[in-house]
Chains A and B, each alone.
Chain A
Amino acid sequence: MRRITISILSTLLVALLAWGAAQSGMLRYNSYMSDPAPRELDERIVELFMERYPDVRVEHSTIAHEDFKQAIRTYLVASPPPDVLTWFAGERMRFFTRAGLIADITDVWTDNDWTEAYSAGAQAMSSDEGDYYFIPQSYYWWAVYYRTDIYEEVGLSVPETWDHFLDNCRALDAAGYIPVTIGTRFRWPAGGWFDYLNMRVNGPEFHIRLLDGLESYESEEVRNTFAHWQEAMDAGCFIDNPSAYNWQEAADFMSQREAGMYLMGQFIMDVVPEDQQQYFDFFRFPIIDATLPIGEDAPTDGWFLSANAANMENAKLFAEFLGSREVAEMWARDLGRLVLRSDIDRSIYTDTQRKGAELLQSADYIAQFYDRDTPEELAGRGMDAFVEFMANPDALDRILADLQREAERVFAARE
């Protein structure tokens, strides 16, 4: 018995000591950069930071992207929470500032003259009621990626109109290719399709009003959006069983030269093998109603510090480093993202980046993304609805009625 007691006590002691040690002279950083390419850069940035500040030991946890999105609230209410976390700018960040979970880092912004360095858009995305809470990393464009070699082989041209796009679908289908690949196992790629169709059919203004709860999912406008989606399905655009794949697996169909197109963010290139990248190009999601302003999705990513960070000083040091010009350039150079700092020479951009930047500059409105622009709780139900529509279009009335009821509940609870 004594031996057992001793072993229990010593385990307790060891665990407590380990925990105590975790509290001093270090920094805990939780990151969702789980794909190989971004992960490699993320780790390199942490190493570089530790080289500069040898006194700080960064305990870096990389969590699978989808798991991270689910678990972040648990991380934040934990005591102690991680000191620094990756996250999305704008609404998704403000949700946590309102709950008092994100540290005010206005001092970091002013001390480092970030108020000069960052574009007005980035500043707006990083602040809430005049205070700064976020360290912007980069942003990227969404577009329809396509395989140039398949397009050439089938004799297609880049579509600027909806009908042209549908014709391309039919031609690719007839030639034995999957016209459009999409993987909705984690739902959100379907959100991209909804964003673009709704913005092209009803205009960005209506889109944002809908996502803010000011319009109804059962309205004629939204039905019209789904009617267009239906047209694409009828033209045989989409891959079978999209929900059997996650987005990376769906991208593989393009890398393996089986699929022609993919509506995706620039980060698709993170998972395309190097020898295939030369065949990838992208075009603006086709225009449906030429009288409407053009909206594009271009999400901004970055970091924030926990309000209850146990190592606030180190966290701020890390924040300064993450927001520095040097690190911002790494994201642009190594992963092809677009920079948010105005003091970075755009000559580091590749032609692809320049093309993406132009695509966004010529847009009238920049949205973040469906699950970043509408309350997260509702976004889950909304993306479920889109995925269900793709599998079961006949149930549209019921799907929209359910979604609208859920929307009313969520927005009523927000009052």
Chain B
Amino acid sequence: MRHHPLAPLSFLLLPLGLYVVWVIYPTFATMAMAFTDWDGISAQWNWVGLANFERLFADRVFWLSLGNNLRWVAVFVTIPLAMGLALALALNRNVRFDRFLKIAYYLPMVLAFVVIGLMWAWIYHPRQGLVNNTLFHLYGFAQSLGFDVNPLAARRIGWLGDPNLAMGSIIAAATWQHVGYVMILYLAGLKTVNTELLDAGQVDGASPWQLFRYITFPQLAPVTTIVLVITVIQSLRAFDLVYVMTRGGPFNSSNVLANFMYIEAFMNYNMGYGAAIAVVLFLISVGFIAAYLYRVVQEEER
């Protein structure tokens, strides 16, 4: 169909302009900044080549943070994914009070990460927190049964203060938030599953597991791809929870790249160094963004 050659432009000018200024340009500016020693204060800066990256790869905090990000990804693509899928399968059938059950699982999703972080920081508090106080009573009960436990020990567990527990505790809070999201996407996906095939399978005497494994799950593949990509991207971007709950501490044991970058750039004012961290984070994400784009392209061809 013919149209005035400038017509698309008149519609695109404003949105695209804003987008270029606030999203496209900053992306490339950060990439350039990663090769400078700019401190964010002085007017002067120098090109330093790969120096920021060399320093980064020699920095223990970087590897700790990266490791934590990868751990986060590893947990997120397994536990919330499996739970969300299982819940979707369970709730997709006629279940009484299914609305209540669904709400229970996705309620955390509408809460701000800051709110979640504060709430869970309290839940994890060694003295006043919910977890340790519950353990305290459980230990007390066990003790009354004759087991050799000291209830007071429960109040000494520092979920966020112990370097071995901090990261896991944060990821647990994040999981609490994420499960509902996965569940919603799978519930939507299940609506598109071909029920005739399932019925046919049932007639042929396939077990529930076989039905799931060979009929339902393959049909959910597009949803699974999306869920995987979104989950991974979310785990890589994670910042709010860490910042609110531990600031990456104790001694970087719960640090992640996003928080490391924020501290270096805005607290230590190593803008160039911070930019280099952001670029690495970006490069790690690129693979997943490409996977998503690939799917979008496929969809377009159809």
Residue contact A243 to B268, C-beta cutoff 8 Å: no
Within the complex, the shortest CB–CB distance from B76 to chain A, in Å, comes to 25
The verdict on A392 contacting B163 (CB below 8 Å), with A377-B268, A380-B268 known, is: yes
Whole-angstrom CA separation of A384 from B260 in the bound complex: 13
Residue contact A241 to B40, C-beta cutoff 8 Å: no
* B92-120 at interface with A (beta carbon < 8 Å): none
Whole-angstrom CA separation of A71 from B40 in the bound complex: 13
In the complex, whether B228 has a CB less than 8 A from a CB of chain A is no
Residue contact A184 to B250, C-beta cutoff 8 Å: yes
The verdict on A243 contacting B249 (CB below 8 Å), with A101-B41, A391-B163 known, is: yes
The verdict on A388 contacting B250 (CB below 8 Å), with A241-B161, A243-B161, A380-B268 known, is: yes
Q: Which residues of A are found within 8 Å of B159, using beta-carbon distances?
A: 244
Interface of B is mostly: loop
In the complex, whether B42 has a CB less than 8 A from a CB of chain A is yes
* A232-248 at interface with B (beta carbon < 8 Å): 240-245
Whole-angstrom CA separation of A245 from B246 in the bound complex: 10
- In the complex, per-residue mask of A254-284: 1 if CB is within 8 Å of any chain B CB, else 0: 0000000000000000000000000000000
Residue contact B266 to A240, C-beta cutoff 8 Å: no
The verdict on A242 contacting B161 (CB below 8 Å), with A73-B41, A388-B251 known, is: yes
Within the complex, the shortest CB–CB distance from B24 to chain A, in Å, comes to 21
Partner of A240, one of B42, B158, B246: B158
- B166 nearest in chain A by CB position: A243
Range of interface residues on B (Cβ < 8 Å): 20 to 34
Whole-angstrom CA separation of A186 from B270 in the bound complex: 21
Within the complex, the shortest CB–CB distance from B46 to chain A, in Å, comes to 12
Residue contact A244 to B160, C-beta cutoff 8 Å: yes
In the complex, whether B252 has a CB less than 8 A from a CB of chain A is yes
Residue contact B156 to A384, C-beta cutoff 8 Å: no
- In the complex, per-residue mask of B99-143: 1 if CB is within 8 Å of any chain A CB, else 0: 000000000000000000000000001100000000000000000
In the complex, whether B267 has a CB less than 8 A from a CB of chain A is yes
The verdict on A387 contacting B269 (CB below 8 Å), with A73-B40, A241-B161, A243-B161 known, is: no
The verdict on A99 contacting B42 (CB below 8 Å), with A244-B161, A388-B250 known, is: yes
- In the complex, per-residue mask of A399-415: 1 if CB is within 8 Å of any chain B CB, else 0: 00010000001000000
* Count of chain A residues with a beta carbon within 8 Å of a chain B beta carbon: 30
In the complex, whether B295 has a CB less than 8 A from a CB of chain A is no
Partner of A387, one of B42, B157, B160, B251: B251
Partner of A384, one of B41, B42, B251: B251
- B251 nearest in chain A by CB position: A388
In the complex, whether B71 has a CB less than 8 A from a CB of chain A is no
Partner of B266, one of A70, A376, A380, A409: A70
Whole-angstrom CA separation of A10 from B105 in the bound complex: 40
Residue contact A77 to B158, C-beta cutoff 8 Å: no
In the complex, whether B162 has a CB less than 8 A from a CB of chain A is yes
A-contacting residues of B (Cβ < 8 Å)? Answer: 40-42, 55, 60, 125-126, 156-163, 246-247, 249-252, 263, 266-270
B-contacting residues of A (Cβ < 8 Å)? Answer: 69-71, 73-74, 76-77, 99, 101, 184-187, 240-245, 376-377, 380, 384-385, 387-388, 391-392, 402, 409
Instruction: A241-B126, A244-B158, A377-B268 given; name 12 further pairs at CB < 8 Å.
Output: A70-B266, A73-B266, A241-B161, A241-B162, A243-B163, A244-B126, A245-B126, A384-B252, A385-B251, A388-B250, A391-B250, A391-B251
